Amino acid sequence: MPYRYRDDIATADVAFEVWGESLEEVFAAAADATMNVMVEDISTIGCLHQLTVELGHDQLDLLLFSFLNELIFLKDARKLLLRVQDISIGMEEAKFALKSTLCGEMPDAGKHRLATDVKAVTLHRFSLDKTESGWQAFVILDI
């Protein structure tokens, strides 16, 4: 599990750090860390609906911010709990561009141990940085 929740920061909400060798790994792990706040065992989320998202931003960290926001939007608007099936991040017309295939299903209290809803991704201390071994990010979710 390439993410860890932080008990000592923003106690009323949920803070997590996430790491990976590639940007794609960090984005996918951050998506799982967000979903894991809402579903206690994310391996129970089946792949019944598939959809593709394409996002762009001129700042790489804000591309991650938009991506997590999109997952939260889809949770309410499409009633879908989603995980990353495939993701690629590159450059398009001088902007960072993301394309991801997401897969998931509707929340089902009988099947998923539902936990706490995520309201939003905050920008307080939000970061995405390159490290010696890859990338890491820090995120605080509003609960």
Partner 1 sequence: MSIPEVVKKVSDTVWEIPISYKEGMRVPGRIYATEKLVKEMDAGVFEQLSNVACLPGIINYAYCMPDGHWGYGFPIGGMAAMDPEKGVISPGGIGFDINCGMRLVLTNLTLEEVQPKLRELVDALFRKVPAGVGSTGFIKLSKNEFAEVTEQGSRWCLRKGYAWPEDLENTEEGGCFKGADASKVSAKAVERGFDQVGTLGSGNHYCELQVAKPENIFEAETARAFGITIPNQVVIMFHCGSRGFGHQVATDYLQLFLNVMEKKYDIRVNDRELSCAPFRSREGQDYFAAMTCAINMAFANRQVILHRIREVFSDVFRKDARALGMQMVYDVAHNTAKLEKHTINGKQKEVLIHRKGATRAFGPGMEGLPEHYKKTGQPVIIGGSMETGSYLLVGLPTAAEALYTTAHGSGRTMSRHQAKKLIKGQKLQQDMEHRGIYVRTASWGGLAEEAGIAYKNIDEVVEATELAGLSRRVVRLLPLGNIKG
21 vs 76 by CB, closer to partner 1 = 76
Contact (CB, 8 A) for 64 and 27: yes
- Contacts of partner 1 in 65-94 (CB under 8 A): 65-66, 69, 72-73, 75-77, 79, 81
Closest approach of partner 1 to the CB of residue 100, in Å: 18
- 25 touches partner 1 (CB under 8 A): no
Which of 3, 133 has the CB closer to partner 1?
Answer: 3
Given a contact cutoff of 8 angstroms between Cβ atoms, the answer to whether 143 and 12 are in contact is: yes
Closest CA to 12 of 119, 127, 133, 103: 119
Q: Is 114 in the site for partner 1 (CB under 8 A)?
A: yes
Instruction: Decide if residue 107 touches partner 1 (CB under 8 A).
Output: yes
Distance CA 87, CA 102 (A): 8
- The answer to whether residue 137 forms part of the interface with partner 1 (CB under 8 A) is no
Cross-strand bridge partners of residue 90: 97
